[in-house]
Chain A
Amino acid sequence: MSDMVDTLTHRMAEFQQQARHAGEPIRHARMRAGVLERVGARPAAPPARRWWVWSGAMAAVAAAAVAVVLVWGALRPRSLTFEVEGAVAGDRSQALFIASEGEPLALSFSDGSAVKIEPRAQLRVAALREHGADLVLESGAARVHVEPGESTSWTVGAGPYRVEVVGTTFAVKWAPQDEVFELQMQEGRVRVHGPRIDGVREVGTGERLVILGATAGRSSTPAADGSEASSVDASEPVPEPVPELEPEPVLEQTEAEVAALAEVERPRKGGRHSRRDRQSRTPLTPGEAADDWRSLARQGAYGRAVEAAEAVGFSSLCRSLPAAALLELADASRYAQRSSRAREALTTLRRRFAGTDAAATAAFDLGRLGAGCDSARWFRTYLRERPGGSMASAARKRLDECPVDQGAAPSP
């Protein structure tokens, strides 16, 4: 095995560099404006005071702070909370959610609003307030439903653009590499702030706003049927021809689909559901339970994936899941450092699917889990069952690393 630290640091360095280069001009322009604004507002240096004035003032401030904390604890407005695929996320502001390649990720908020993060998209919940939240779509597409209300105030940031929402349903997309911003309204009206649109532009039901090249492209607002929307002026000068953008599948959803999103993923108003609560209302079928832990595992939430599997019966899943899914469950358990659960999944797999490739892989994984001679025996089992298998060379290397090798193979 090559030096893991070298491989990892190389990939991390590569990633940090790429992450920094992505959207650099816009980011630097934003930071520069922020610095200039803050420096310009520099307050004058306070005049020197006598020490006793300071001491008195500090004591008064401390007493006031204690009082404020006590009163604030009792009276402070409660921010919205949200759930991720049914699991309570609480106040996880600044948390970044990355949808896996194959599946979207749903966030449900306690005011009835819902966000669906499309596959491969990344969305951050930047702030939660009593009547709204600030979301930042880092890349990809998301569908947003905001429950209307008198004081509702939501924003969705996407690159240099900010969508102000009061109550509406829409799909938004941001491609940072190409600086393409898209907004497809399903219902209601939003205000979009950002470059290339004269500061602010309103977009209403059925309209689509597309901005190609946030810093040098052009904007257009064709309606859902492809024609230009008459209510929005799209008379920006066009410096050079830009190829027309093909609408992504996410922007072609029907109103019924959006309504379904709002209907299905909206929690009851003012409340929040725990996973158990949700289960008690709609019991999961074995297939749905499998999907639940699987989607968590694919997001990298291995601990929660094992908990989800346990919630519907880990052992019964081991008895019913197909071989490939059992290997996934074992992997999730190993990565969550739940060795006994991983062992349970792997030994059940070897019993149920004896003689298959999956059973041999399970033997290799049991070797990874074990220590000393136990580990060596499982690697030997794998080599006996699949001498030319894809993990044979890794098994041999692992065997060389084992300090003790009793030679006897364990029973399957």
Chain B
Amino acid sequence: MISTAPSSAAPVLPLRPVAPAPLLARLRAGESAAVAELFDRHVKAVERAVHGVMGPDPEAEDLVQDAFVAAMRGIEGFRGDERTLGAWVRGIAVRLALKKIRWRRTRRWLSWQGTDEVPTLHAVTHTDTQAALRRAYALLERLPAVERAAFGLRFLEGMQLEEVADALGVSLATAKRRIRKARERFAGLAAGDALLRDWQERQDGR
């Protein structure tokens, strides 16, 4: 026989869903799932920033990883909140990419290498345009690193001026000045380049 009498044990409380701990706290606790969540949330923005600074570079993938790893190693010192976490990782990525560009330029200068390394041009099938883009990226290499970054973030990745300033860690006025200078310099270099002038004429003729 089964007794249906109420027991005298402690009353059973209704179940409530347990709110997950904030991402920042879980990151500081070193939870792998939190690191994966941080990565999934912000990888696109971080990758976009790295491409803005460096173009489609074979080392871009490594730099994106380095940025997340550096962020995790410095997470204790992060003073912002969850809303600014993405911008913080993106800023780290931009600084690492700038450092990489400067290091390459120094190495090239020391070893007398030319600037003939070309980016991966997966998506371009027209050889004419491929040659023009390769030349254009080579011209970007001749801009000062900070101007190249400002130019790439603004014109190649289509970031808003405020976003560019934030990614570069400079004031809005400084970001605007760098973008303007970079554009003037790039325009001057492109106008003096026979290959790009030919290409532009063919584009105009189409």
Binding site for B on A (CB under 8 A): 1-2, 4-5, 7-9, 11-13, 15-16, 18-20, 22, 27-28, 30-32, 34-36, 38-40, 42, 94-96, 98, 100-101, 120, 122, 124, 126, 138-139, 176, 298, 300-302, 331, 334-335, 337, 368, 390-391, 393-394
Contact = CB atoms under 8 A, between A and B. Distances in A.
Interface of B: 30, 32, 35-36, 39-40, 43, 47-48, 51, 55-56, 58-59, 61, 64-65, 68-69, 72-73, 116-125, 127, 129-134, 136-137, 155-158, 183, 186-187, 190-191, 194-198, 200-201, 203-205
B129 A11 contact: yes
Given A19-B123, A368-B197, A5 B183 contact: yes
Contact of B120 (A19, A30, A38): A19
A155 to B, nearest CB: 16
Helix, strand, loop or mixed for chain B's interface? helix
B118 A96 contact: yes
Nearest to A43: B73
A69 to B, nearest CB: 15
A259 to B, nearest CB: 31
A122 B120 contact: yes
A42 B183 CA distance: 42
Nearest to A39: B72
A139 B129 CA distance: 18
A210 B194 CA distance: 45
B51 A16 contact: yes
Contacts of B39: 31-32, 35-36
Contact of B203 (A7, A98, A120, A391): A7
B47 A20 contact: yes
Given A15-B121, A32-B39, A34-B65, A9 B156 contact: yes
B65 A94 contact: no
A139 B123 CA distance: 10
Contacts of B118: 96, 98, 300
Contacts of B65: 31, 34-35, 38
A393 B206 CA distance: 12
A94 B124 CA distance: 20
A100 B127 contact: yes
A302 B117 CA distance: 14
Given A16-B157, A28-B43, A31-B43, A8 B196 contact: yes
B205 A15 contact: no
24 contacts: A1-B201, A2-B204, A5-B186, A8-B132, A11-B133, A13-B156, A16-B51, A19-B120, A19-B122, A19-B123, A20-B51, A22-B122, A39-B32, A96-B117, A96-B119, A122-B120, A122-B121, A122-B122, A138-B120, A139-B122, A301-B116, A302-B195, A331-B198, A334-B194
A96 B120 contact: yes
Given A7-B200, A8-B136, A13 B64 contact: no
A93 B39 CA distance: 29
A5 B136 CA distance: 9
Given A18-B123, A94-B58, A393-B205, 5 more contacts: A8-B196, A32-B39, A35-B39, A39-B72, A335-B195
B40 A32 contact: yes
Contacts of A331: 198
Contacts of B205: 390, 393-394
Given A15-B56, A20-B48, A101-B127, A42 B200 contact: no
A314 B91 CA distance: 51
A35 B35 contact: yes
Contacts of B30: 39, 42
Contacts of B130: 98, 300
B120 to A, nearest CB: 6
Contacts of B204: 1-2, 394
A68 B200 CA distance: 53
Contacts of A27: 61
Query: Which of A15, A94, A96 has the most chain B CB within a 10 Å cutoff?
Result: A15
Contacts of A4: 187, 190-191, 196-197, 200
A9 B133 CA distance: 9
Q: Which 7 residue pairs across A and B have the least CB separation, nearest first?
A: A18-B123, A9-B155, A335-B195, A334-B194, A35-B68, A19-B56, A4-B200
A35 B196 contact: no
Nearest to A332: B195
Contacts of B127: 100-101, 298
Query: Which of B73, B119, B122, B137 has the most chain A CB within a 10 Å cutoff?
Result: B122
A1 B200 contact: yes
Nearest to B188: A5
A2 B197 CA distance: 11
A16 B156 contact: yes
A327 B120 CA distance: 28
A146 B122 CA distance: 26
Contacts of A16: 51, 55-56, 156-157
